[in-house]
Amino acid sequence: MSEQDGAASKVDVVIVGAGFSGLYLLHRLRGLGFSTRVFERGGDVGGTWYWNRYPGARCDVESMQYSYSFDEDLQQEWHWPEKFSAQPDILAYANHVADRFDLRGGIDFDTEVSAAHFNESTGRWLVETNKDERVSARFFIMATGCISTAQVPDIEGLSDYRGNTYHTGNWPHEKVDFGGQRIAVIGTGSSGIQAIPVLAEEAAHVTVFQRTPNYSLPSQNVPMTSEYEESWKNDYQVRRDEMRYTAHGSIKELNDEPAMAVNEDRRQQVYQERWDIGGAGYLGSFNNLLTDADANETAAEFVREQIRGIVKKPEVAELLAAKTYPIGTKRICIDCGYFETYNRDNIDLVDISGGPIERMTPTGLVANGKEYEFDSIVFATGFDAMTGTLFNVDIRGRGDQALKEKWYAGPRTYLGLMSEAFPNMFMITGPGSPSVKSNMLTSIEQHVVFVTDSIVHMREQGFASMEPSREAEDDWVEHVQDTANRTLFPRANSWYMGANIPGKPRLFMPYIGGVGRYRKICEEIVAEDYKGFNFDADKARTPVAAE
């Protein structure tokens, strides 16, 4: 694909995705006077909240914190109905933002970017869509989210099955009526654990196929109270600033002492208090739960004991109690009555840890040598996370190098923002940044500001392109891995490690050094004249300017 092949329009920036990253990018770049095109494969805004409409879907970061901070009026005016919001409320918020800042008209919906090639002679990206449009852009930004390529396992005979199939990450827009149906749910990650209690309320019978049990904590979700809302709104500036320098981009109290520094009674008391409060703050019960295996085991065992207390059938409770990896090293799940659901008469749990689902049949599936019949099958089987969506676009940088080829042994980025040999291409919350190990909204805002500030810097300095040095990238990749290797995270077969996708390189993809630490590193890099980035000052090429 070359520019002579007929690029129709020219813009400063092409943005892929109209989720929370793409919306804020569009708003900010417009305000700075850059011309933009935004392509979104969905029919409307919202990204992950547009696609993940399964029953029970909600966010497990508190809404007062899982929201934009860039506009004071917006954060003062918006009202969240619950402490942890349900998917429809978060999607309504995304739509409100799109309308409030008049963003919708700047987005091409139902349009997928299929390729983006960097042209070395012009210093521009040629971007191609599935609607055969070609756009030439100075900057190319992948704002496509970290968990947006749904994964249906390659089970023999999948196409033979004649019932309905659904994936939690690609749920129909119209209400699905499971009334009177026998349904299967395959997968017990965050999505399955949220969906199963709601599905069990509705369906005649639910059979859950569990490959690996997950640690899940109660959300203890409650309706928003005016006192709580006001406590945030009266203090938003201060609290948002605090969030930006925390470990996970949200305010959760960390008990800054090691688990073994207190006696057993005190440990149990701390765990009980945190369990009762609800949410992921449980993992902050002590400061070494994710670095010390013995400390971790005390927190894990407390959760297993809760499961044994909730689930009436002891053999089911034991199957649900995770034992093969430390708590928190697979994404912690937050639920509304998940374990309680197994006390219902209309649910069965099938352990498939000993071997995969053997095959699908026209009426159901075969597992552990037994045949099951279902009216519908729900795949809650996760995503090709962090890299899958980047690889779905044929991205080629200098020397026609494909991103997929460069990253064959794992993602290689500087700060999770850029990759060497791909000039002027940015990723929002890319691999190697805190991304999925943080409150995504905090990290998205930081990346959007970094990227747009960099583009403004280039405009002011008359630079044509920006790209990390190979050395800076190598050092960062090593730092990301070293940081992960000092924790317990590599011990779990998680999607953080790429372990859920057959053949995917096994390495820890997000940066676990902490949101605050990462932000300070970025600030220092900018203060040191964008240390580690090379700028092409070739004035023969068009310097950055609004077109």
Which residues of the chain form contacts with ligand N01 (CB under 6 A)?
59-60, 147, 153, 168, 186-192, 194, 209, 211-212, 331, 334, 352, 356-357, 380-383, 436, 495, 500
Residue 14 or 184 with smaller CB distance to ligand N01: 184
Query: How near is the Cβ of 380 to ligand N01 at its closest, in Å?
Result: 5
Residue 497 carries which DSSP code?
G
How does DSSP assign 97-108, residue by residue? HHHHTT-GGGEE
- List Cβ<8 Å contacts ≥24 apart for 298-303: 298/259, 298/267, 298/271, 299/259, 299/271, 299/327, 299/328, 300/215, 300/326, 300/327, 302/268, 302/271, 302/272, 302/275, 303/215, 303/216, 303/217, 303/275, 303/327
Q: How many CA atoms lie within 13 A of 238 on its CB side?
A: 5
Paired strand residues for 118: 125
Nearer to ligand N01, 111 or 214 (CB): 214
Give the residue nearest to ligand N01 (CB): 189
Residue with Cβ nearer ligand N01 (379 or 533): 379
Residue 170 Cβ, how far from ligand N01 at the closest point, in Å? 11
In whole angstroms, the minimum distance from the beta carbon of 206 to ligand N01 comes to: 15
Taking a C-beta distance cutoff of 8 angstroms, is the pair 45, 107 a contact?
Answer: yes
Shortest distance, position 47 Cβ to ligand N01, whole Å = 12
Q: Which is nearer to ligand N01, 300 or 455 (CB)?
A: 300
User: Rounded to 10 degrees, what is the CA torsion of 160, 52, 206, 203?
Assistant: -100
CA dist., res. 210 & res. 192, Å (int): 10
Structure tokens at 303: 């959760």
Q: How far is the CB of 511 from ligand N01 (least distance, A)?
A: 15
* Tokens of residue 250, six digits: 């949200």
Q: Which is nearer to ligand N01, 147 or 327 (CB)?
A: 147
Structure tokens at 320: 């649900």
Q: Cβ closer to ligand N01: 176 or 334?
A: 334
- Minimum distance between the CB of residue 48 and ligand N01, rounded to whole angstroms? 8
How much of the chain is helix, strand and coil, in % rounded to 5? 35, 20, 45
Rank residues 270 and 360 by Cβ distance to ligand N01 and give the closer one. 360
Pair of tokens at residue 153: 């396992």
148 near 46, Cβ under 8 Å? no
Least distance CB 463 / ligand N01 (angstroms)? 36
Least separation in angstroms between residue 151's CB and ligand N01 is: 7
Beta-carbon neighbour count of residue 426 at 10 Å?
Answer: 26
* CB 222 to ligand N01: min, Å: 16
Closest to ligand N01 by CB, 229 vs 358, is 358
Place of tokens 């934009």: 68
- Of 117 and 331, the one with the shorter C-beta distance to ligand N01 is 331
Half-sphere exposure of 341 (CA within 13 A, CB side): 26
**3-state DSSP of 461-481:** HCCCEEEECHHHHHHHHHHHH
Say if residues 382 and 187 touch (Cβ distance below 8 Å): yes
- Of residues 186 and 544, the one with the C-beta less far from ligand N01: 186
What is the closest distance, in whole angstroms, from the C-beta atom of residue 255 to ligand N01 in the complex? 23
Residue 176 CB, shortest distance to ligand N01, in Å, is 17
Q: Which is nearer to ligand N01, 311 or 367 (CB)?
A: 367
Q: Are 41 and 112 in contact (CB under 8 A)?
A: yes
Residues 6+ apart with CB under 8 A from 226: none
Q: 337 vs 356, which CB is nearer to ligand N01?
A: 356
- Min dist CB 17 to ligand N01, Å, is 16
Query: Rounded to 5 degrees, what are φ and ψ at 21?
Result: -70, -50
Which one, of 325, 277, 271, lies nearest residue 302 by Cα? 271
